[in-house]
Structure 1
Amino acid sequence: MAPANGTTPVELPHPDRKDLVLTDVLFALSDPARLEIAMQISDGILDMADCHLSNPNVPKSTKSHHMKVLREAGVIRNDPVGRGRLLTLRLQDLDARFPGLMKVILSGKQ
């Protein structure tokens, strides 16, 4: 999502570890598509362009909305790198705030 003038994408806001809220995290992960994204990212850093959903017909705007919900809840980081974005799961922050939560949630990983 590079700006129209071709410059590097801007840094997006992410909540601090101390500001993570359990209900926000659970809401973000309650949607099957967002949970699928979190599971993909749990394997490591993922380029946003390589992140896919099981339904290939999902509009880009919907995918962007899912990323925003996950980022604002503190589940993922979405950092600019060049003209793209890298996604990471905030496991250390989530485990510090809610010990064991992500292990349980991600245990359903196929």
Structure 2
Amino acid sequence: MDTATSPRELAHPERGDIRLEAVLHALSDPMRLIVVHTLASGPDPLSCSYFDLPVTKSTSTHHFRVLRESGVIRQIYQGTSKMNELRRDDLDALFPGLLDSVLTALARQAAAGGHRR
């Protein structure tokens, strides 16, 4: 994993260091799936404050960190905002069809009325 060179630069794994088990773990949480779905729905990076997750700020920060450290998203600072973008190219190259399958399953689940237990 590469390291941050300043407090304003965040560490992200290089493409070759992204591990399937880390990606699957990151995608296993409903809050993180909301973030991924939202980022996949548009072309532009979104700030952390754009997301209105029903969790505390510290928990939200944790979810973004898990997504970044697993290689699912890239975070960069623009001014005082931390911008987030999906690393679709990297994920599609490493795990073809995985992201599309997860997003399709998420849409089907939402159409069927959410979680079933």
Quickly name the TM-score band, shorter chain normalised: 0.7 to 0.9
Aligned to 1:6: none
Q: How far did 1:47 drift?
A: 1.6
Amino acid at match of 1:27: H
State how 1:58-97 maps to structure 2 within 5 Å.
58-97=55-94
Amino acid at match of 1:47: S
Quote the sequence identity (%): 45
Does structure 2 conserve the Cα–Cα contact (< 8 Å) formed by 1:37 and 1:52? no
Distance in structure 2 (CA, Å) of the matches to 1:102 and 1:25: 10
Distance in structure 1 (CA, Å) of the matches to 2:93 and 2:101: 15
Of 38, 57, 65, the residue aligned with 1:40 is: 38
Runs of 4+ in 1 over 2 A off after TM superposition: none
Query: Number of aligned pairs?
Result: 99
Aligned to 2:51: 51
Scaled by the length of structure 2, the TM-score of the pair is 0.80
Q: How far did 1:12 drift?
A: 0.4
Distance in structure 2 (CA, Å) of the matches to 1:70 and 1:40: 13
Structure 2: which 5+ residue stretches go unaligned? Answer: 1-6, 111-117
Structure 1: which 5+ residue stretches go unaligned? Answer: 1-8
SS in 2 for 1:40: helix
Distance in structure 2 (CA, Å) of the matches to 1:25 and 1:64: 17
